[in-house]
Structure 1
Amino acid sequence: MNTVAAPQTFDETSLRGFVAQEAALLDERRFDEWLDLFADDGRYWVPLLGRMQQDPHSHNSLAYEDKLLLQLRIERLKDPRAHSQHPPSHCQHVLQAATIERIDVDAGTAMLRTPFLYLEARGEQQLMLAGSYQHMLVRTANGLRIRQKRVDLLGAERALPAVQLFI
């Protein structure tokens, strides 16, 4: 007899905890573990127009990177010859509670929105950015993974200084 497993439901506490853990990995400079949270088809997107931008292809973006490009950025950050990391950059994410916007149990996906403050320090310089994250999470055999992390910055269209780490 062939049986089909019932779709698994999403635990809202686990979804919110996933987003908090993702930010903690960045704050701790555990970039390889952070990258492992992305699905194979995962994307990291920072729209130039913030929430007004509907997709990454109709307008320029501050960043639109697949897993390979994220891996290259991580390798650059870890390279002892990377001038931009002397002294090394450190960051702190301050998150509000994530709001669950949508859950599709049949597709195994969940969408969360999380307002944030991002602080990045390097030497005596400090940068603060604000905005909201939109995480599209997908259930995989290895647990939850990020299909897309969208970073909608407040005032993204203004001239911004170089951000060394991941917002």
Structure 2
Amino acid sequence: MSAGSIWVLPAEAVSPAARLAAEDFLIAEAAMLDERRFDEWIELFTDDVEYIVPVRTIRRVGNGSDIDWESRHYDDNKASLSLRVRRLSTDVAWSEDPPSFTRRVLGNFRYTPGPAATELTVKTNLLLFRSRGTTGDHDLIAGERTDVLRLVEGELKIAKRHVVLDQAMLGTKNLGVFL
């Protein structure tokens, strides 16, 4: 490429404005979770949302996928997510009482148009730091998130979230936080 040439993205690429809007949206969503603003957070989802975290398995090379989509840590829709949010404000959410301190870090944003005309698929790497109590113990949970963002009445909403964790055996005592 010469000094005066301009790199042109292919026609099917996502515009810089759409990428920036999606990135800002997902970073703000992570901050809502870290700040425990769950009542605001639940409003970021479409009514038909699919929120799935499958189980990882250990398989020898050539023996199929190491993702077991039939076994899931989470298999939520809007109603079950809303119920989990409401439960966190009660005294029966023992896995999050006292609440965890969390920090979500998103990176390596990758964008694909669709699947529908008003949707954008965004893959990110997720690193979740979580600590509880006063012992200094903490959990690090890493994985890849695939979000389908949908434009609904001029606002982005999460229509699908799949999180594939990078661990077959979770070291955390419970998975009472959202990913």
1:91 counterpart letter in structure 2: T
Residue in 1 that maps onto 2:147: 135
1:84 aligns to what?
A: 95
Superposition TM-score, scaled by structure 2 size = 0.77
| Correspondence for 2:23 | 16
Quick one: which amino acid aligns to residue 46 of structure 1? V
Alignment pair present for 1:126 and 2:138 = yes
State the SS of the aligned residue for 1:96: strand
Report the structure number with the largest CA radius of gyration: 2
State how far apart, in whole Å, the 1-side matches of 2:114 and 2:161 are: 17
Q: Is the 8 A contact 2:115 2:121 kept in 1?
A: no
Matching of residues 45-124 of structure 1 within 5 Å: 45-49=52-56, 52-53=66-67, 56=69, 59-100=70-111, 102-104=112-114, 107-124=117-134
Moved more, 28-37 or 102-111: 102-111
Q: 1: CA distance between counterparts of 2:144 and 2:19? A: 19
- CA, structure 1 residues 52+15, in 2 after alignment: closer, same or farther (shift >3 Å)? farther
With over 3 angstroms needed to count, the CA separation of the structure-2 counterparts of 1:105 and 1:154, relative to structure 1, is closer
Which position in structure 1 is the counterpart of 2:62?
none
Task: After TM superposition, give the deviation of residue 138 of structure 1 in Å.
Answer: 0.9
Contact 1:41 1:67 in 2 (8 A): yes
Q: What CA distance in whole angstroms lies between the structure 2 residues aligned with 1:144 and 1:109?
A: 9
Mark the runs of 5 or more structure 1 residues left unpaired by the alignment: 1-8
- Aligned alpha-carbon RMSD (Å): 2.2
Deviation at 1:72, TM superposition (A): 1.1
- State the Cα distance separating 1:133 from its structure 2 match: 0.9
Q: Which runs of 5+ in 2 are unaligned?
A: 1-14, 58-64
Count of residues in correspondence between the two structures: 154
Q: TM-score, normalised by structure 1?
A: 0.82
